[in-house]
């Protein structure tokens, strides 16, 4: 089959007869026959489609050998990456990139594998079992050490090693010289008889963090060397510092430095008996990578997120260190992952909750985490020591973390700034300084001029004029109505702020030209504690702590409150038969806890909702705190017990409280019971309270299902200490739920539930019903067999406002749902995966800036369309040639959010008729020649509450003004004779749409195309290929009209290849492309003729040479100084153009490879451009 058309024919008859109807047939098949789960990866025997985040230029993509002819690499825009930009080591399953711009991006891979690896030996019998015959005399008493392999350039003895090292240099007459390097090395093995090493080393300077959408994380940025044996461990590099066995000293740190651990025994004899006990010791010295913060967030009705996190000092834009977060809802620790409770974007510090965890106005969200803080270099020293002998255990722990006050990083402190910090002491809310300074004009910065405006002097106004733009200004958000500047829309490459006139003397903005000065801090703690087991039934433990918390090491003022002390002790006695299994015992407990007035914890020590549990949310205690505890339990194990506890909290004259708590658990074969109830009475200076609460859960097995009930009730009567009237903070609620579910042991699970909640608030000195909510839902998990899995979860909630005067909420109904589906049948001939989720949340307005990087290592290029020398947002384009790629685009989120309804739908489908047609004859043989592969993904957010807009995963074909954000990708390929050695055809339909909400408005892109590829092996020597493409590209931006275009295009490209053997191949080809802009957008026309040839010489095991040359003739009838022309001409100029490239790859020895590449281009009246790279890569 061939595609023929004249230069102006648009394949209209083909589209109308075949392509358009097939699209609707495809959707009908997808939704009526099959639903699927996951776009990212599926595996049907040897056919693999997967997403891959590229972190280095050499990546192991599969443990099996890959069929080279089947491999395709597709970038994030859906375009196939040219084979000249990468090398595939098919035998080893390794992808080697020549184009460094792909590093740090996500690509799609498509390939087939052999069922084995050609690099692994396979045999029926182990050759080592063959008894070797000595043909010549050898001396059995002569020792011969291990002979090194002369071919290995990095001989490391018996260590297992993998990875590569590469160094490269790029140069050209239109670019600056740039250096590139990468190292990725993994080592493991034995150094000596009882000494081992494990190492991961790389020099990538890309701050890659894993996506927070899975429970398990892979740390890309871990660089370390660990040497260890059975009693000691020494690690240098990146490591995680876990807390010691201590009550007061709690922390979780990511650090860079050195840490050593050792365990040794006192008076150990030759038989290994330890007569003097054992000592476990750890000593660490490092730079701390993170700073602890705790955010308390009240849930918003119908908002699953994202919820933005802030730093300890309210820093608005932070980066969370991966894996350090702990997320709680109502005191319960959640699990990260798309299939679990929440997702987190570490780079934007945003948390979003899944359909498994519905968020309402009543949810209490607490998030603790470490975040990157670059105000100062921060060091830490840690020491822990634990001594054990018989019944005695003693511990000593020391921790010190401090900022280097004379080594500020991102914060540029002047002498005046340091003097100011020294004078403010601990009053850091007064630590701010002017945020402007005079500088020389720089076209890469957003600068301001100082003017008088409307009678107000010293007003900063954005300027791009070199004669007046002489101030660099930092603006800080001080709150609405407290500042004189607002963020305004602009095409400048950065944020621009505008002065607004005060109204009646009151500021009208929210930003001020000031800098907040962050003071260097120091936190230290020393802890000594231990425990003694009196006998098998009783024990006593104690711990004392001293803390030093200096919030401003620049200043000696207010230092009298830096030191604090804490103490805790507990005694426990087990009566009767606690040590025997299945025996109940009476267990009394007594404990005391003391916190000095100035004692400060490193991270949270007490329970996650400690202050709520004691009604201390609105009370600040500036006195010492003493807690006494006494309790008694009747216990069998942790699943069967009853405990009663009395707690007394004494905060001097400011606060006193008594709490009685009952906790009970019972688990039998058919009955589960869980109850916790408490009564709290508090007396404080301003208020008194009586707080009664309980949680209950009961589940009873009835025939083939479980019937259960659970509730949560609180009655918090807070009264004014003087008038004895109910305060506004008093409340009541009662939340109930009944459910029926399958037994835990069944293979297929389900749960049906109905719940309701009543909320009461204080009004006129009594409790009045404020809101009422109802919940309905089900959970279903069906695993029929290993070939079919179905999961579903739905929750519907209705909120009714009973008294608007005491509730600031609005009536709402919210639906969350998730459906997952996995299918594989017909011997792998049909496989499908699907994921569909709906919900509601927020979408933040985004903004982006372009940052210049080393020449050739970016993705964008700057073209000064208006000739003013100023970099503006509408002047950056995706680079058509790598030597132009000098910029990257960085997205940042803002505090401006809009309410959205979301749905996500991911689907993968593979159909191969040959797999389930047993006798391919006649019409069956025709059907067996076909295969179909589909991948569809959509993430859609709309402002419309209409059901069709909320639930329909397909984007509206017309204009959807309610659409807020859209990312959708559809790729469907139909194969005919996919594996046939002589003739094959494939048709691919691809549709990529995107819409992004920016601070300047919306930005939208569409790329839709139909591609037909035909392959005909005329003989063993000759190959004829043809590719035809018909498509449409749309670009639109609210903030600038010069980026708007709507192109229809088509292209035709035959290619003839001659290959007489494996060492030589040559090809000639021709391409015709026509692009026409929509008449409403200008109607510009561009035509391209391209003719070229390629020659490749290859020597197996030695190297290869590739030469390519193209002649292009381009015509274009529009203006060339805009984005449309750059797209039409693909970075070239009207008229005659030429491009050429050459590459030489040489294998030196067994583990060294040299890559030389050169490319160039020329246009009429433009001098030729030359660029080249030299790269050396060594493999381990």
Sequence-distant (6+) residues with CB within 8 A of 175 are 855, 856, 883, 884, 886, 1171
Residue 158 has pLDDT above 60, yes or no: yes
Whole-number pLDDT of residue 409: 86
Kindly list the distances between the CA atom of residue 488 and the CA atoms of 23, 461, 505, in Å, as whole numbers in the listed order: 43, 12, 22
Least confident span in 154-158, 476-480, 607-611: 154-158
Residue 698 has pLDDT above 50, yes or no: yes
**Cα of 256 vs its chain's centroid, Å:** 22
Question: CA 67, CA 911: separation in Å to the nearest integer?
Answer: 20
Two tokens, residue 374: 């670059």
Task: Report pTM.
Answer: 0.81
Whole-number pLDDT of residue 694: 96
Whole-number pLDDT of residue 457: 76
Instruction: Give mean pLDDT, residues 461-473.
Output: 90
Question: CA 785, CA 1143: separation in Å to the nearest integer?
Answer: 52
Residues 8-50: tens digit of each pLDDT? 333 333 333 333 333 333 333 333 333 333 333 333 344 576 7
User: How does the average pLDDT of the chain come out, rounded?
Assistant: 84
The answer to whether residues 410 and 374 touch, using CB atoms and an 8 Å cutoff, is: yes
Residues 1152-1175: tens digit of each pLDDT? 888 999 999 999 888 899 999 998
Residues 1066-1081: tens digit of each pLDDT? 999 999 999 999 998 8
Give start-end residues of each CATH 3.90.1150.210 domain in the chain. 633-728
Farthest-apart Cα atoms in the chain, separation: 109
Sequence-distant (6+) residues with CB within 8 A of 120 are none
Closest residue by Cα to residue 410 from 493, 319, 495: 319
Q: Which residues pair with 1045 in a beta bridge?
A: 1035
pLDDT classification of 108: cutoffs 50, 70, 90? confident
Residues 665-676: tens digit of each pLDDT? 999 888 999 999
pLDDT classification of 127: cutoffs 50, 70, 90? low
Question: CA 253, CA 240: separation in Å to the nearest integer?
Answer: 6
φ, ψ for residue 346 (rounded to 5)? -65, -35
In the numeric block, the tokens 């490092």 are attached to: 286
Kindly list the distances between the CA atom of residue 381 and the CA atoms of 462, 604, 608, in Å, as whole numbers in the listed order: 47, 20, 27
Q: In CATH, what number does 633-728 get?
A: 3.90.1150.210
Whole-number pLDDT of residue 152: 53
Residue 963 has pLDDT above 90, yes or no: no
- In DSSP notation, 229-279 reads -SSEEEEEEEEEE---S-SS----EEEEEEEEEEEEETTB-TT--BSS-EE
Whole-number pLDDT of residue 178: 79
Question: CA 1027, CA 16: separation in Å to the nearest integer?
Answer: 20
CB atoms within 10 A of CB 270: 5
Question: What is the rounded radius of gyration, in angstroms, for the C-alpha atoms of the chain?
Answer: 35
Question: CA 43, CA 908: separation in Å to the nearest integer?
Answer: 10
Whole-number pLDDT of residue 31: 34
Residues 797-824: tens digit of each pLDDT? 999 999 999 998 899 999 999 999 888 8
Whole-number pLDDT of residue 45: 40
Whole-number pLDDT of residue 455: 65
pLDDT classification of 84: cutoffs 50, 70, 90? low
Least confident span in 583-592, 743-752, 841-850: 743-752
Residues 549-591: tens digit of each pLDDT? 999 999 999 888 899 999 999 998 877 654 555 678 888 999 9
Residue 829 has pLDDT above 90, yes or no: no
Q: Which residue has the higher pLDDT, 5 or 725?
A: 725
Identify the sign of the CA torsion 546, 551, 556, 561. negative
Residues 871-918: tens digit of each pLDDT? 888 888 888 888 888 888 888 777 788 889 988 999 999 988 888 777
């Amino acid at each position: 089959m061939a595609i023929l058309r004249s230069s102006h024919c648009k394949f209209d008859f083909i589209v109308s007869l075949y392509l358009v109807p097939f699209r609707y047939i495809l959707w009908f098949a997808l939704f009526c026959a099959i639903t699927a789960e996951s776009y990212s990866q599926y595996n049907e025997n040897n056919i693999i489609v997967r997403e891959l985040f590229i972190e280095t230029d050499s990546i192991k993509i599969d443990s099996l050998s890959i069929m080279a002819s089947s491999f395709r690499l597709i970038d994030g825009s859906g375009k196939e990456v040219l084979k000249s930009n990468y090398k595939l080591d098919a035998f080893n399953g390794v992808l080697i990139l020549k184009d460094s711009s792909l590093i740090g991006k996500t690509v799609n891979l498509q390939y087939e594998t052999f069922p084995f690896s050609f690099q692994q030996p396979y045999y029926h019998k182990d050759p080592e079992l063959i008894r070797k015959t000595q043909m010549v005399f050898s001396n059995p008493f002569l020792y011969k050490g291990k002979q090194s392999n002369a071919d290995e350039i990095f001989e490391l003895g018996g260590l297992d090693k993998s990875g590569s090292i590469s160094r490269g240099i790029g140069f050209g007459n239109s670019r600056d010289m740039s250096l590139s390097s990468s190292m990725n090395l993994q080592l493991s093995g034995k150094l000596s008889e009882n000494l081992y090493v494990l190492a991961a080393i790389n020099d990538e300077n890309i701050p890659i963090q894993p996506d927070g959408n899975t429970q398990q994380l892979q740390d890309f940025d871990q660089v370390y060397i660990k040497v260890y044996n059975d009693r000691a461990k020494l690690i240098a590099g990146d490591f995680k510092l876990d807390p010691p066995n201590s009550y007061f000293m709690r922390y979780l740190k990511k650090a860079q430095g050195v840490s050593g651990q050792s365990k040794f025994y006192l008076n150990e004899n030759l038989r290994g008996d330890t007569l003097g006990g054992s000592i476990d010791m750890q000593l660490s010295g490092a730079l701390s990578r993170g700073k602890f913060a705790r955010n308390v967030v009240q849930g918003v009705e119908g908002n699953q997120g994202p919820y933005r996190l802030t730093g300890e000092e309210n820093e608005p834009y932070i980066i969370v260190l991966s894996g350090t977060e702990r997320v709680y809802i109502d005191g319960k620790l959640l699990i990260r992952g798309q299939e679990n409770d929440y997702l987190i974007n570490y780079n934007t510090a945003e948390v979003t909750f899944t359909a498994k965890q519905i968020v309402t106005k009543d949810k209490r969200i607490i998030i603790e985490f470490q975040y990157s803080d670059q105000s100062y270099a921060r060091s830490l020293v840690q020491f822990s020591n634990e001594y054990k002998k018989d019944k005695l255990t003693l511990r000593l722990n020391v921790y010190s973390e401090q900022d280097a006050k004379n080594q500020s990083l991102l914060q540029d402190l002047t002498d005046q700034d340091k003097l100011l910090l020294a004078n403010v002491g601990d009053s850091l809310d007064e630590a701010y300084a002017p945020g402007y300074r005079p500088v020389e004009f720089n076209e890469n910065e957003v600068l301001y001029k100082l003017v008088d405006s409307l009678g107000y002097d010293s007003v900063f106004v954005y300027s791009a004029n070199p004669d007046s733009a002489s101030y660099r200004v930092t603006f800080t958000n001080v709150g609405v109505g407290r500042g004189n500047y607002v963020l305004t829309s602009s095409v400048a490459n950065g944020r621009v702020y505008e002065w607004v006139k005060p109204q009646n003397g009151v500021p009208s903005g929210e930003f001020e030209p000031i800098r907040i000065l962050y003071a260097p801090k120091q936190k230290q703690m020393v802890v000594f504690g231990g425990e003694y087991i009196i006998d098998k039934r009783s024990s006593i433990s104690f711990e004392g702590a001293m803390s030093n918390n200096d919030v401003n090491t620049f200043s000696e003022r207010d230092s009298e409150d830096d030191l604090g002390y804490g103490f805790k002790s507990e005694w426990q006695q087990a009566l009767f038969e606690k040590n025997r299994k299945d025996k109940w015992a009476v267990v009394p407990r007594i404990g005391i806890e003391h916190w000095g007035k100035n004692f400060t914890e490193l991270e949270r020590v007490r329970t996650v909702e400690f202050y709520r549990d004691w009604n201390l949310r609105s009370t600040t205690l500036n006195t010492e705190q003493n807690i006494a505890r006494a309790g008694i339990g009747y216990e069998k194990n942790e699943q069967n017990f009853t405990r009663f506890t009395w707690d007394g909290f004494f905060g001097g004259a400011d606060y006193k409280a008594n709490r009685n708590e009952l906790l009970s658990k019972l688990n039998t074969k058919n009955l589960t019971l869980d109850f916790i109830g408490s009564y709290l009475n508090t007396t404080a200076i301003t208020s008194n309270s009586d707080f009664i609460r309980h949680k209950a859960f009961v589940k009873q097995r009835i025939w083939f299902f479980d019937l259960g009930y659970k509730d949560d009730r609180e009655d918090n009567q807070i009264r004014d200490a003087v008038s004895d009237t109910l305060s506004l903070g008093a409340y009541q609620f009662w939340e109930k739920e009944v459910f029926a579910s399958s037994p835990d042991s069944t293979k297929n699970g389900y749960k049906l539930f109905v719940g309701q909640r009543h909320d009461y608030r204080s009004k006129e000195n009594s409790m009045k019903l404020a809101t009422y909510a109802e919940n309905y839902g089900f959970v279903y998990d069906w695993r029929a067999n290993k070939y079919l899995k179905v999961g579903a979860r739905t929750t519907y909630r209705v909120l009714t406002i009973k008294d608007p005067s005491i509730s600031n909420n609005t009536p709402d109904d919210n639906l969350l749902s998730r459906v997952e589906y996995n299918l594989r049948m017909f011997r792998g001939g049909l496989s499908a995966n699907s994921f569909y989720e709906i919900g509601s949340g927020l979408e933040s307005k985004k903004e982006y800036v372009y940052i210049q990087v080393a020449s050739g290592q970016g993705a964008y290029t700057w073209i000064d369309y208006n000739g003013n020398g100023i970099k503006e947002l509408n002047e950056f384009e995706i680079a058509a040639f790598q030597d132009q790629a000098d910029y990257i685009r960085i997205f940042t989120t803002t505090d401006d959010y809009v309410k959205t309804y979301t749905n996500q739908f991911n689907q993968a489908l593979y159909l191969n008729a040959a797999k389930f047609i047993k006798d391919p004859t006649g019409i069956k043989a025709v059907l067996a020649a076909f295969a179909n592969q589909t991948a569809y993904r959509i993430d859609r957010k709309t402002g419309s509450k209409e059901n069709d807009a909320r639930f329909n995963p397909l984007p509206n074909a017309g204009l959807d003004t309610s659409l807020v954000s859209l990312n959708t990708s559809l790729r469907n390929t139909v194969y005919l004779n996919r594996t046939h050695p002589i003739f094959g055809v494939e048709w691919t339909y691809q549709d990529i749409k995107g819409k992004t909400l920016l601070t300047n408005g919306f930005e939208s892109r569409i790329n839709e195309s139909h591609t037909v590829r035909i392959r005909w092996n005329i003989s063993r020597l000759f190959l004829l290929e043809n590719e035809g493409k018909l498509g449409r590209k749309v670009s639109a931006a609210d903030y600038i009209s010069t980026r708007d275009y709507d192109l229809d295009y088509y292209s035709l490209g035959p290619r003839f290849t001659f290959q007489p053997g494996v060492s030589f191949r040559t090809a000639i080809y021709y391409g015709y492309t026509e692009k026409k802009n929509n008449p409403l957008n200008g109607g510009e026309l561009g035509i391209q003729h391209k003719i070229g040839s390629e020659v490749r010489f290859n020597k197996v095991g030695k190297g290869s040479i590739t030469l390519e040359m193209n002649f292009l003739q381009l015509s274009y009838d529009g203006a060339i100084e805009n984005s449309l022309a750059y797209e039409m001409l693909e970075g070239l100029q009207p008229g005659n153009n030429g491009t050429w490239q050459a590459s030489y790859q040489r294998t030196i020895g067994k583990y060294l490879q040299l890559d030389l590449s050169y490319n160039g281009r020329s246009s009429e009246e433009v001098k030729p451009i030359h660029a080249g790279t030299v790269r050396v890569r060594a493999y381990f």
